[in-house]
Amino acid sequence: MIKFNIVVDDQQIISSILMKGHSGFDIKGKDIVCSAVSTLIAGFVLSIGSLNTIKFDQKSDKPGFFEYKLFNIDETEKLELASYSKFLLKSLLWIETGYGDFCKLDIKKTGAR
What CATH number corresponds to the domain at position 85?
3.30.70.1490
Domain that holds residue 41: 2-109
Burial (Cβ within 10 Å: 0-12, 13-18, ≥19) of residue 102: buried
Q: How confident is the model at residue 101 (pLDDT cuts 50, 70, 90)?
A: very high
Segment 46-53 shows an average pLDDT of 91
Segment 63-82 shows an average pLDDT of 91
Total domains in the fold of the chain: 1
Q: What is the pLDDT of residue 105?
A: 98
pLDDT value at 73 more than 90: no
pLDDT value at 113 more than 70: no
In this prediction the pTM is: 0.92
Q: What is the pLDDT of residue 107?
A: 96
Q: Which of 69, 73, 27, 78 is nearest to 45 (CA)?
A: 69
